[in-house]
Structure formats: structure tokens, C-alpha cells
Structure 1
Amino acid sequence: MAIARPGHPVPHTDPTTPSPPRRRRAEVLACLKASASPVPVAEVAQRTGLHVNTARFHLDRLVEDGLAQRESEQAEAPGRPRILYSHGAAEPGPRSYRLLTDMLAGLVAALDPDGSAAASAGRTWGHRLAADQEALGGGTALARLDTVLEQVGFAQTRHHDAGGSEMRIHHCPFIEVAEQRPDVVCTLHLGLLRGVAEELAAPVDVTGLHPFARPGLCVASLRDTATRDPAPPTPPAAVP
């Protein structure tokens, strides 16, 4: 915090402007990115105009932050090898996204017991995924609905009979988590279907989703809105 001294105004600081140390560190990082091969401290200092000790300090901090790598030069001559720096993090360790997904699904179930928030989130994502309709190509709204779902990773077919219409989902990209938490994942999926259909103005309402209705199959119930009976005309008001 700046403190005013008698006769001196408080200097104005812009919080969006990087401080000098951060700016210098960004310059050092930019130098590493522009280098085709690992470089020694002296070369970084020369390119950035920094003192060698200052350049080394920022390089070591970049290594600690995972933004740079440090290695010893493979020198043939005797003597202490130089330390070289390059842009990029070390090889990533193992990931456990499945565990993270299971934990998040459990959290959603605890915080959203009636599923309303999950359904709303799925609907929002459905609208978002279908918003760029030019990228979906031409064709009918139902064809573009299929395209959106296929881009996500679903595989489905639609079937019609005297009893109504349904979408048979043969492949679900969330199946492993859905088997453990259908209350969360399938509610998200139902909201997603509804959001996509609404965004594309598809002539169907997604009235329900039946997880694992048949072996290896989930079924979404559809209602064809294009063949709805028109609303009866409103009778004219009586003239007094």
C-alpha cells in the first residue's frame, strides 16, 4: 500500500500492470520460448539485458513454477558443465481424471439431491454445444441434433412406431461414471438433449431418458411436435 508523504501525492498504481520483477520474469520466459535449444544463464542475461545473477534468479523461479527445465550440458572437455535452461515443463506424471470425475459426481449428488441443478446445467451445455449451427452443416434440425451428439461421442438412432418415437443410445461417452452415478450423469444427459433440441428448434420434445432400459442401451422418449394437433381457435368475444 502506498503511503503519502507531506507534499507528495500518493502514486497511482494500476493493478493490471505487471510489477517490474514479474515483467522481467516474463521477458526471461519469452527468451526461452524464442530459443531453439537450451541456453545458459549468460546468454539469457545478454538477450534480456539483465545481470547474470538476476537472470539466474528468474530462471530458477520459472523452473520451480514448472514453466522451464534445467539440465547440465553434456560437455566433452573436463570441468564443471554449464547449466542450461529451456522452456517447457517436465514430463507430466500420471493423471486420475476418472477419480476426479467420480468425486465431482458424488459432490453434485450431495448438493443437488433433486437433480434440478444438474438438469439445468445439462440444458445450458446443450444450448452451448448447438449454438454454432454453421459448423454443424446443413440438413434438417434433427440431422444437426445427431451431429452435435456424435461430436460429443454418442451413437444413437431414432425409431418411430404407433406408440411414439424414441432415441436409442447405443454408445454413451460417460458410461463408466453413469453406471456408478446415473442420478447425476443421466440427469445431465437429459438436460443436454433438451438444450440441443431447443437450440436447434428441432421438432421434438425430449420427454424422458431411461438409463439402461435394455442391455447396452439407453432410451430417450421423444414427442413429435411437428404433428401436434393445433390449438382450438379462440371463440370471438361476445358483442354487447
Structure 2
Amino acid sequence: MPVRSRDRVRAIVAEATNGLDAHQVAEALDVHVTTARFHLNNLLDEGGIIAETLRPGGVGRPRVLYRTAPAPPAEELLFLLLRQLGGTAAKREATSAAAGRAWAQAHAQPTDDVDPTSVPDPVTIVAATLTSLGFRVTETVSAFGSHRVSLCSCPLQSIAARNPEIAHGVVRGAVEYALEAASPILDGSYAVDVSPDSGGDCELVLNLSSARRVATE
């Protein structure tokens, strides 16, 4: 899967012990300096990097160096605790899915009795649930019974950076619970897959595919 430009910028800055300016990042990525500044500013907003403005040695704009932000001790502890969820990425994702289900259930809105014959729109159900948990849905695409939902991993951003499988599991569990709670007909009807966004500004891509079709492929 292609690496996102922002992740490449993050990696380039992390490798430079003395910091890099926007022109150096642009040269390393072979992009325009404006594009490099765009990604650097986004990383600054996320808290992934820090900027240091140097005293100008002459006429012109002061040079700004970018470095990886030092990890707070509490963040490192969180990372170590999360690793205890399982010895492999698959185990950590499975454990996180159970936590995601519990998280969605704790924030579920009270509803009237579910009509067992009705089939609510799965995308509407998923979008409402993820929004209530702090995610930002940016795009939905449906075709031939399958649905693709792009979202920013806002509440899990710091976790997703180092343990993406945990973010994937949490979202998968929350979505599976939302579909199950919405209608008996939706329960188990979709295979839920969460993966990193291959490009653009979003962090995660959620795919809902017919479980029956997936089982026969």
C-alpha cells in the first residue's frame, strides 16, 4: 500500500537529527516547497513535530527548522501498556475490537424498540456512531451493496501513529456493535475491514462488504 505523503514527511524529519527546513523536505520528497510546508503545518497541528525559528543571518525570511516532537513520558507509558494487549498485531486488533464494541455501547443513544423487519441504511448507522465517538467522516461511497467510509482517526490519532492495528480494531468493534444494535437483519450481514488511508487527508478507510459474498469468494 502506498505510503502517505504526510507519513513520508514525518519519517524524513525523524531521520534528521539536526532538523530540516521546508526546502530540504521538498527536495527529499521531490515536491514543491509549498506542498512540503502544507504537510509540515499539518504535522505541527497534530503535535508530531516542532518548529524552531533561527535568527536570520541576512535579508530574507528567517529559516525554520522542523524536528520530531519529543514523546512525553506518559505517551511512552501508554504505548507500552497498549503493547500488553497481545503479542502480535492480530491479537492486539482482536482485543481492541472488543474494547471498541464496549466503547460504542457505552455511548449508544437510546432508541425505540427495533423493528425486526426494517433494514436501516448501514452507512447512516455507522456514520452516526463514529461521529458520536469523535471521528470525522469525510466521504462515503456505496456500490453494488458494498460501502466505503473514509474518516479521520481524530480520537485515536496518537495511538494510530504507533499502533495502527489498535485503531483498526477499535473502529471495527464499534461498527460491528452499531450494525448489530441497529437491526437483527444487519447483525452479521457485513464483513467489516479497517485499513490506513492510502492517500489524502484522512487516516482510516472502513469497508463494509456483504458477508455472504465474502464467504463465497
Where relative contact order (Cα < 8 A, 6+ residues apart) is larger, the structure is 2
TM-score (structure 1 length as normaliser): 0.43
Give the greater-gyration-radius structure (CA).
1
TM-score (structure 2 length as normaliser): 0.47
